[in-house]
């Protein structure tokens, strides 16, 4: 298995001295669905951002799909990001336009600024956007303004927009944090099924231990900027994962 993501000694230190990441070593293979779990401030979001240099690491190395991210030039980095879909808890949609319009925006990286206006897109691109909406179960709401949709529906639009990029990697930063449990389960089931269908690599930061156990293949626990647990999901229990949250060092060693 050829690794798609490799971090070695990855570090992120702020000017005030706070260390968000402290020597993170992580290898993610193609098609893996990986959950990052840990308390607020554990470093989950910082790790996701550093993978595509949305945040500049201060130490170590990051190689994503063969690209040395820390050494990549602007053009190479832009090309890499075009192949990476991002889903976040805030949805990051344009609220006052329709779901279809938002999904078309997902093709801007590969098709250019004409995707800002769906009417300027090719028939094939518009059909592709509808296919993405249909895959997330929202084809019938394509013309609805996003600000009239529920939280779960908005997250589905965000996933459809990410699919429009034709990514090989999806980074999901607390994708269900703002949703009720039922909507959260629906979104996680959708992410899992799409990942399997399209052979996507997915790295998702999650707070919900039960979701991590149910919907992912591998769980990486983080605490204070370090990886303290890394194992296949079938080998994890709720008790072991709960130990990542505020456990003493001795107990953490026991769950690795």
Q: What is the pLDDT of residues 31-75, one digit of tens each?
A: 999 999 999 999 999 999 999 999 999 999 999 999 999 999 999
Contact 164, 115 (CB under 8 A): no
Give the pLDDT confidence score for residue 112 in this predicted structure: 84
Q: In a 10 Å sphere around its CB, with 0-12 CB exposed, 13-18 middle and 19+ buried, how is residue 231 labelled?
A: middle
- Six-digit token string for 233: 């999901």
Q: Is it the case that residue 212 has pLDDT exceeding 60?
A: yes
Residue 231, strand partner residues: 219
Tell me which DSSP letter residue 41 carries. Answer: T
**Joined tokens for residue 43:** 């470093």
Q: Quick check: 92 and 154 in contact, CB under 8 A?
A: no
Dihedral angle of Cα 178, 182, 184, 187, to the nearest 10 degrees = -130
When pLDDT is averaged across residues 14-35 and rounded to a whole number, the result is 95
What does the pLDDT read at residue 246?
67
Given a cut of 50, whether residue 230 has pLDDT beyond it is yes
Q: Which class for 124: exposed (0-12), middle (13-18), buried (19 or more C-beta within 10 A)?
A: exposed
Is-contact 42 35, C-beta < 8 A?
no
How much is the average pLDDT of 111-131? 88
What average pLDDT does range 87-95 have in this prediction? 91
Instruction: Kindly state the average pLDDT of the residues 209-228.
Output: 94
Burial category of 210 from C-beta neighbours within 10 Å (exposed 0-12, middle 13-18, buried 19 and up):
middle
d(CA 8, CA 21): 11
Please provide the average confidence, as pLDDT, over all residues in the chain: 91
**What is the SS3 assignment for 67?**
strand
Q: Are 189 and 162 in contact (CB under 8 A)?
A: no
Q: Are 53 and 61 in contact (CB under 8 A)?
A: no
Higher pLDDT, residue 2 or 54: 54
Q: How far apart are CA 23 and CA 217, in angstroms?
A: 24
Residue 145's pLDDT is 96
Q: What domains can you pick out in the chain, each with its CATH number?
A: 1-83+169-256 (3.40.50.300), 92-166 (no CATH)
Percent of the chain with pLDDT over 70: 95
Q: From edge to edge, which strands make up the β-sheet containing 84-88?
A: 84-88, 169-173, 201-206, 33-37, 218-223, 226-232
179: pLDDT strictly greater than 80: yes
């Amino acid at each position: 298995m050829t690794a798609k993501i490799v971090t070695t000694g990855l570090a992120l230190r702020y000017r005030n001295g706070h260390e968000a990441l402290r020597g993170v070593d992580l290898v993610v293979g193609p098609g893996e669905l990986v959950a990052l779990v840990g308390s607020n401030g554990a470093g989950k979001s910082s790790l996701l951002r550093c993978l595509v240099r949305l945040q500049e690491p201060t130490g170590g190395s990051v190689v994503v799909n063969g690209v040395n991210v820390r050494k990549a030039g602007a053009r190479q980095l832009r090309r890499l990001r075009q192949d990476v879909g991002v889903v976040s808890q805030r949805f990051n949609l344009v609220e006052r336009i329709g779901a279809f319009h938002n999904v078309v925006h997902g093709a801007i990286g590969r098709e250019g600024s004409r995707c800002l206006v769906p009417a300027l897109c090719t028939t094939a691109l518009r059909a592709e956007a509808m296919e993405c909406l249909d895959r997330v179960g929202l084809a019938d709401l394509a013309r609805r303004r996003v600000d009239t949709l529920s939280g779960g529906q908005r997250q589905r639009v965000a996933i459809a927009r990410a699919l429009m990029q034709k990514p090989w990697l999806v980074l999901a930063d607390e994708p269900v944090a703002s949703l009720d449990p039922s909507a959260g389960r629906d979104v996680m089931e959708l992410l899992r099924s799409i990942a399997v269908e399209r052979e996507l690599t997915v790295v998702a930061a999650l707070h919900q231990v039960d979701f991590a156990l149910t919907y992912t293949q591998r769980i990486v626990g983080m605490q204070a900027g370090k990886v303290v647990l890394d194992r296949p999901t079938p080998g994890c229990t709720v008790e072991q994962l709960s130990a990542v949250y505020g456990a003493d060092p001795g107990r953490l060693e026991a769950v690795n």
